[in-house]
Amino acid sequence: MWSKCSRGCSTSSRLIFQIGNSASLATSPEIAGEPTGPCIKTSVPGPKTKQLLCELSKLQQAGSTEIFINYDKSIGNYLVDADENTYLDTYTQIATMPLGYNHPELLQVFRNEHDLKCLVNRPALGVYPGEDWPQRMNHIADAIAPYGLRHLNTMMCGACSNENAFKHAFMAYRRKVRGDDNFTEEEKQSCVLNKPPGSPNLAIMSFLHGFHGRTIGTLSTTRSKYIQKIDIPAFDWPMANFPQYLYPLEEHEECNRAEDYRCLASVEELFEKWCKKGIPVAGVIVEPIQSEGGDNHASPTFFRKLQAICKRNNAALIMDEVQTGGGPTGKFWCHEYFDMESPPDIVTFSKKLQLGGYFFSDDMKVNQPFRTFNTWMGDPGKVILLEKIIDIIVRDQLLQNVRLTGDYLLKQLQCMEKEFSPIIHSTRGRGTFIAITAETPEKRDEMIKRLKSKGVICGGAHPQTLRLRPTLLFSKNHADIFLDKLNEVLKDIKKA
């Protein structure tokens, strides 16, 4: 079992081992100058925001734009908009800000001349990395690599991380079939024409409601909103069912266990079906918590058995930790909760880690140059920020803060759910990666709108989920502000 290391600790990244698991924090993390609470001065959206939206709409489709932010004045867990309104931000740029706005130590990073030059002289990393690049990569891997996955490729974003993870899965599958990487002349010539055997018929399996990106390959595995996929050609790749649990979990154990086995049966059936079609499944991509699809959870048993199915079919298991990686669940990698028999074959990341990339096993390693390659292959400037972020997470015990704050927030929301059911129900989460389900999509949208008017930014997810994605600095004080505002909103909706 890989789940116990030589020191007897539970499965975890090196960062978790350094932080430990003490029961309480001496002090809550604080950012100097952070507001004590929201302050709304205008209607939402305000007049300047409306003016800016009008200007932007003349240049591009701006229907997704919600707020124009004054990034000079935003700080910590609070953002300030163009109309000088101050909001508690529990969504943090779609889950991308581990330390909030304008963390004072991050503002100092590029005052070091060497680091500034790394930022300005942006290299083509696959060909011309800086002389300190191996040292920086080792620093990152030593701190956060999931156990068993020492190899690391950096990329620009989550979608291109997943896209290149697919390529590793395909190449590893073909290497197993072929027995080596000695390509035939027929393979070399046919791939240029997009034909077998050089361009083989292979598939990546994904799950209903999953989201993995908007590039052509990842979009074929994305199974959430139609607006993301419509008019775009897609590969003939299989889609399995992902568990849809009933809550509270302790009251529906038997039903949810049956849901696990129903979904696992669909995975096995699809492996067999696609093999018979002549398009064998080379990899399975899954989120530890389906995020955009509604914050859908699955049990450790589900993930362990999914891994076993992949192994029996010689398929790579790709764990998409683009949203869950970086600590929001209380562990640096969410899959660490699952006590799996061995590491996933590939773990992809982005968002809170500032750049994209993926860790991978020996079996997934590519033996020839230029097979996973692009001009930049990441961004040294983001790596420099990530190094500082990791240091702060360790020093300030921020994952412990996430666990403590998350436990408190989850319990309070569960109590609130009893008072306001069925307006809200199915409270769930790990750490501060928390969601509730509204009675209808319309009521969810109304909740988000009313919270914003009271100075709290939240996120929505398919189909009627309200989700929280706060910073790692989000403390009990911030949680109480959110809970007070949500309580006001729910009372207003209940009266209506």
- Amino acid in the structure at residue 483: L
At residue 4, the 3 state secondary structure works out as strand
And the tokens for 329? 């669940």
Residue 301: Cβ-neighbour burial (10 angstroms; 0-12, 13-18, 19+) = middle
Euclidean distance between CA atoms 101 and 470, whole angstroms? 11
HSE, CB side, 13 Å, CA atoms: give it for residue 418.
6
Going from the C-alpha of 389 to that of each of 103, 325, 384, 424, 435, the distances in angstroms are 10, 13, 9, 35, 25
Q: How far is C-alpha 51 from the geometric centre of its chain's CA atoms?
A: 33
Crossing angle (nearest 10°) for helices 380-395 and 113-120? 140
Contact 284, 317 (CB under 8 A): yes
Sign of CA dihedral 409, 410, 415, 416: positive
Residues 6+ apart with CB under 8 A from 218: 159, 162, 163, 166, 212
- Amino acid in the structure at residue 272: E
- Provide the annotated active-site residues: 211, 320, 351, 375
At residue 365, the 3 state secondary structure works out as coil
Going from the C-alpha of 192 to that of each of 123, 197, 367, 411, the distances in angstroms are 29, 11, 20, 57
Sign of CA dihedral 138, 160, 461, 88: positive
